[in-house]
Amino acid sequence: MQTHFSLATLADPDMAESERILRACVHCGFCTATCPTYLLTGDELDSPRGRIYLIKDMLETARPADARTVHHIDRCLSCLSCMTTCPSSVNYMHLIDHARAHIEQTYSRPLFDRALRALLAGILPRPALFRMALRAAAIAQPLAPYLPGRLKAMLRLAPQKAPPPSDIDQPQIFTAHGARRFRVALLNGCAQTVLDTRINAATIRLLTRLGVEVVVAEGAGCCGALAHHLGHVDESQAFARRNIEAWTREIDVNGLDYVVINASGCGTSVKDYGFMFRNDPAMATKAAVISARAIDVCELVANLGFAAEEATMRRRVAYHAACSLQHGQKILQQPIDLLTRAGFEVVMIPESHICCGSAGTYNLLQPELAGALRARKIVNIESVAPQVVAAGNLGCMTQIAAGTDIPVVHTVELLDWASGGPRPEALEER
């Protein structure tokens, strides 16, 4: 793609990077075939190619964002399916992130929109505030039918009751069973510690059983992805910086082989810390080290040589490949292989490359499109008649579970069960 950025504009490193990305695009349109929003609307501006044109027009003149551009950028899921499809390796992820940051810096949103986005960015990454908000949401749920669409979606997705805080999410060390093979830090996260404490518990049981010492580091928490995708650059970098410093202290004092992440949206973000801080002399090296050691839990378990107990009870499992795992991190086969090795009958979901509509806060900010994508995903899941759905990302689990009676669990819960851990509570409940 031909661009016309001025030298003054290109003096900004972020503008220079976006210009490089734009030039890689050859207008082929392969991305439109796998873009969820384009499949729903048929609008070229709701496709990656269309959004690239909008971003180019906005950035190369360094002009403030306009309402039309914001409308179509906001409708992007950041599912990154287009990056898997693109034959020219256009880094759409970095381009759309820069566009969102530019929008937040130059565009004045309507008051309600601005307040809602600030509310999400302020509450979701902070577990104590999030728990308080969920209590309020449970009380207000009878009012949902009378509220505007986005508030209605927030209340309907909120659980009736969240689990109490778990001691395992406090800073501590979990000793490996037998000879220690690795020492890792676990990103315990933010929303996950509120909505489903079973995921981290299953992860720690599974890893320690396989000879891994697990550290929950003092000072680590939200990865920053939520704020990042809302265009709140300073806030997202503040979260990321705290994690980098916390894990760097562990590396310096006791050593770490890996930083393990069991929420694929967070994993995609942590693996990108090196890029995020590439222009920060004080953080660049440390961030690059952390990104290099970041690993999804299924990647690590596959490397450890997972083996199931002989008594494993078989279940027909529909594996949902979270977008951030299959498109963002290019991890698809390891979870399937692990579940098969654990004794489960794994069935693939039709249109597995298409997003379920969760996408961080997307299902709260764009409930109509998110609802249509969830309905499409549920039809595809139920077509293969599974007994359980497995996924590697809490957001996907919450989104899918809201549309079906089929139990939805994290992949590590099934692997933990198969290797001697408890049966997942979601299976007991159903």
pLDDT digits (tens, 9 = 90+) for 252-300: 999 999 999 999 999 999 999 999 999 999 999 999 999 999 999 999 9
181 contacts 210 by C-beta, under 8 angstroms:
yes
pLDDT of residue 159: 81
Percent of the chain with pLDDT over 70: 99
In CATH terms, the superfamily for domain 7-106 is Alpha-helical ferredoxin (1.10.1060.10)
Assign 157 a pLDDT band (cuts: 50, 70, 90): confident
Residues 6+ apart with CB under 8 A from 303: none
Buried b (16+ CB within 10 A) or exposed e, 103-112: bbeebebeee
Assign 149 a pLDDT band (cuts: 50, 70, 90): confident
| pTM of the shown model | 0.93
Residues 185-222 have pLDDT tens digits of 999 999 999 999 999 999 999 999 999 999 999 999 99
Q: Judge whether residue 38 has pLDDT over 90.
A: yes
DSSP assignment of 8-75 equals HHHTSHHHHHHHHHHHH-----GGGGT-HHHHHH--GGGSHHHHHHHHHHHHTTTPPP-HHHHHHHHT
Assign 307 a pLDDT band (cuts: 50, 70, 90): confident
**Torsion, CA 189, CA 251, CA 299, CA 127, rounded to 10:** 0
Residue 348, beta-bridge partner list? 319
Q: Judge whether residue 47 has pLDDT over 60.
A: yes
The yes-or-no answer to whether 167-301 and 306-429 have a common fold is yes
Assign 146 a pLDDT band (cuts: 50, 70, 90): confident
Q: Nearest-5° angle of CA 144, CA 147, CA 150?
A: 95
The one-character DSSP state at 348 is E
pLDDT of residue 430: 55
pLDDT of residue 142: 80
pLDDT of residue 312: 59
| Nearest in space to 240 (alpha carbons), one of 268, 277, 265 | 277
pLDDT of residue 156: 78
In the predicted model, what is the mean pLDDT of residues 296-324?
88
In the predicted model, what is the mean pLDDT of residues 57-62?
94
Domain 306-429 is found in CATH 3.40.50.1860:
yes
Residues 354-384 have pLDDT tens digits of 999 999 999 999 999 999 999 999 999 999 9
Listed by start position, the domains of the chain span: 7-106, 111-157, 167-301, 306-429
Query: In this predicted model, which residue has the larger pLDDT, 162 or 216?
Result: 216
Average pLDDT score, the chain:
94
Residues 6+ apart with CB under 8 A from 159: 134, 138, 195
* The total number of residues written for the chain in this structure: 430
pLDDT of residue 14: 96
Assign 408 a pLDDT band (cuts: 50, 70, 90): very high
76 contacts 97 by C-beta, under 8 angstroms:
no
Q: Judge whether residue 311 has pLDDT over 60.
A: no
pLDDT of residue 162: 83
In the predicted model, what is the mean pLDDT of residues 98-111?
96
How far is it, in rounded angstroms, from Cα 409 to Cα 401? 9
CATH class of 167-301: alpha beta
In the predicted model, what is the mean pLDDT of residues 401-405?
94
241 contacts 283 by C-beta, under 8 angstroms:
yes
